[in-house]
Amino acid sequence: MSGSPPPTGGFARRVGPFQATAINMSQMCGIGPFVTIPLMVAAFGGPQAVIGFVAGAVLALCDGLVWAELGAAMPGSGGSYVYLRQAFQYRTGRLMPFLFVWTAMLFIPLIMSTGVVGFVQYLGYLAPGLGRTQGDLIGLGVIALVVLLLWRGIEHIARLTAVMWTVMIASVVLVIAAAATDFSPHLAFGYPAHAFDLTSDRFWLGFAAGLTIGVYDYLGYNTTAYMGAEIKDPGRTLPRSVIFSILGIMAIYLLLQIGTLGVVDWHRMTDPEDIASTSVASAVLEKTWGTGAADTVTVLILITAFASVFTGLLGGSRVPYDAARDGVFFRPYGKLHPRHRFPMLGLATMGVITAIGFLIGRHTDLATLIQLLTTVMVLVQALAQIVALTVLRRRRPTLHRPYRMWLYPLPALVAFVGWCVIYGYADKNSPGRHPIEWSLAWVALGCAAFFVWARLERVWPFGPKEISEEYTTTGRDPDTEPVAG
């Protein structure tokens, strides 16, 4: 997320506009679309499921503009916990950035666990007789392998991830190309009766579920905000990397979704006994180019799934490390491996949570896992960060803002409402799973952990508040320039 430990003297600003956009897109487009198309179709009950991807893009774009303004104004390493600390330090000290790291240590590995669930699902296409226990063991083995590779230290990680990114792009392009060769408008646009009945509760329940799945597929558009200290001219580059990556991924997802619906009958995607419900991309290739091509692309998708987990845990393990080093989290998380120089405790913790999340997803369903991770993320990151934008505009009017949100406050309001819809419908979309209650329990546990930590560190409320206005009009970053907005 925020990268490796900084060299002496701080990070070097080496990431330009093209690289920044590519970094965001590489985090956004992993295994997600290959496993969520059937979920989206099931949520909407037909090919009108495309609405979910569009709605997810709108929410991601509006929320992305929040990240763009905050990231351009405070282009440091750390992302959300920097913004939350600057906004809420006046009343609650370090509580909000602590809670962000606390929740990030849950929702980041849960995102990775969805990649492992997807890996096992697509492996089932190559090995139809794969049982539940065997699948569980293979998934746990994949997680162990990822942690082992990262634990030993990986040289030339940039080169390795570039290869994985190429494989991912190839798998997406091949599925889109295959769908184009046998596309049926009748299948893609054959909507069932009352598909767009806006007066129906079923439509809005499906819309909320589709919005949740859609925004899950776009997660990663904020990656460069965590790398603010390494971005060239962040006042211009950060906003553009967010906006361009969302628009680019939206085009890819729409081609993939519509193309898939034009080849595979959507009824197949809702049948748990049909391979299209778990490995829809493989079903597309099998129908268009044959079994051999389907097997080849399935292997590419397996590599993509592995890559998404690898890069996610690589970056995610740095979040508690950066926070601990900055005095916002438990100190043991700020220690590095003495030889390989990686954050040991952060990686180990997230590896364990990824394994637990994987087993939850396997023994409930993938939609429940996505619902759990989004509800945890909404409270402390999404909604709190929108509030932080408003707080900083009022409390810090002299803060240097190279980029100001277009049409403020409309995008912020749209994002706030969108996240509230996701959170408000969470229990209805996961009956019996209680994601809202679990998210509140996790935040409450985080508050208790904060008071323990604050007592040990003797900070507010057990010590004086430490007000640090690090970004001011007199301390502008020399690389930033004003951007009209």
Q: Model confidence over 427-455: pLDDT tens digits? A: 999 988 899 999 999 999 999 999 999 99
Tell whether 471 is covered by a domain: no
- Enclosing domain of residue 345: 17-464
What integer pLDDT is reported at residue 439 of this predicted model?
A: 94
What integer pLDDT is reported at residue 353 of this predicted model?
A: 96
What integer pLDDT is reported at residue 361 of this predicted model?
A: 92
Q: Model confidence over 201-253: pLDDT tens digits? A: 889 999 999 999 999 999 988 888 877 777 888 888 989 999 999 999 999 99
Tell whether 483 is covered by a domain: no
CATH code of the domain in which 56 resides:
1.20.1740.10
SS3 readout for the chain: CCCCCCCCCCCCCCECHHHHHHHHHHHHCCCHHHHHHHHHHHHHCCHHHHHHHHHHHHHHHHHHHHHHHHHHHCCCECCHHHHHHHHHHHHHCCHHHHHHHHHHHHHHHHHHHHHHHHHHHHHHHHCCCCCHHHHHHHHHHHHHHHHHHHHHCCCCHHHHHHHHHHHHHHHHHHHHHHHHHCCCHHHHCCCCCCCCCCCCHHHHHHHHHHHHHHHHHHCCCCHHHHEHHHECCHHHHHHHHHHHHHHHHHHHHHHHHHHHHCCCCHHHHCCCCCHHHCCHHHHHHHHHCCHHHHHHHHHHHHHHHHHHHHHHHHHHCHHHHHHHHCCCCCHHHHCECCCCCCEHHHHHHHHHHHHHHHHHHHHCCHHHHHHHHHHHHHHHHHHHHHHHHHHHHHHCCCCCCCECCCCCCHHHHHHHHHHHHHHHCHHHHCCCCCHHHHHHHHHHHHHHHHHHHHHHHCCCCCCCCCCCCCCCHHHCCCCCCCECC
Tell whether 477 is covered by a domain: no
Q: Which residues of the chain have pLDDT under 50?
A: 1-10, 155-156, 474-485
Tell whether 189 is covered by a domain: yes
What integer pLDDT is reported at residue 160 of this predicted model?
A: 66
Tell whether 247 is covered by a domain: yes
Tell whether 97 is covered by a domain: yes
What integer pLDDT is reported at residue 5 of this predicted model?
A: 40
Tell me the average pLDDT of the chain. Answer: 87
What integer pLDDT is reported at residue 101 of this predicted model?
A: 94
Tell whether 473 is covered by a domain: no
Domains of the chain: total? 1
Tell whether 2 is covered by a domain: no
